[in-house]
Amino acid sequence: MRPAPAILRLALGLALAAGAAGAETPMTATEFEAYVNGRTIHYAGQGQEAYGAEQYLPNRRVIWTFLDGECVEGLWYEEGGLICFVYELDLMPQCWSFWRSGGGITARFENEPAATALYELSQTDEPLICQGPDLGV
């Protein structure tokens, strides 16, 4: 088999590098919002069946649950290229980077980068089921 001409090797190398770089580029706030708005996404951690779920509402509002029936409301915003969340019971920002991967998204907790990444397990347009009035609707 003959080696590929230098120009073809260069083009292939650039294409592979661009693909790898794209995989390493976190979603922007605009991309994230377009992907999640109006959806409920279930997340899993490595080796876990399910970790929790978040319902993404208009105006960057969210509802989070660890799937125990208890839900907490919050909001998200972009800061320094990260997607940060604050919740009603804990106003300390929790900042994440999100990537498109496979058939969904992957999230890394940037407050603690060594923490396990979360992976999209499934998504629906159905609201969360929460205890208490007015949550998950």
User: Going by C-beta distance under 8 Å and a sequence separation of 6 or more, which residues neighbour residue 13?
Assistant: none
In a domain, 42, yes or no: yes
In a domain, 135, yes or no: no
The helix (H) or strand (E) run that includes residue 32 is helix 29-36
Tell me the sheet residues that pair with 68.
none
In a domain, 20, yes or no: no
In total, how many domains does the chain have?
1
The tens digit of pLDDT for each residue in 39-71 reads 999 999 977 789 999 999 999 999 999 999 899
CATH number at residue 77: 2.40.128
Looking at residue 54, its pLDDT comes to 98
pLDDT reading at 3 higher than 90: no
In a domain, 11, yes or no: no
In a domain, 40, yes or no: yes
pTM of the model: 0.77
In a domain, 76, yes or no: yes
Distance CA(113)–CA(5), nearest Å, equals: 42
- For residue 114, name the pLDDT band (cuts at 50, 70, 90): confident
In a domain, 57, yes or no: yes
- Structural domain boundaries enclosing 45: 26-124
- For residue 21, name the pLDDT band (cuts at 50, 70, 90): very low
In a domain, 5, yes or no: no
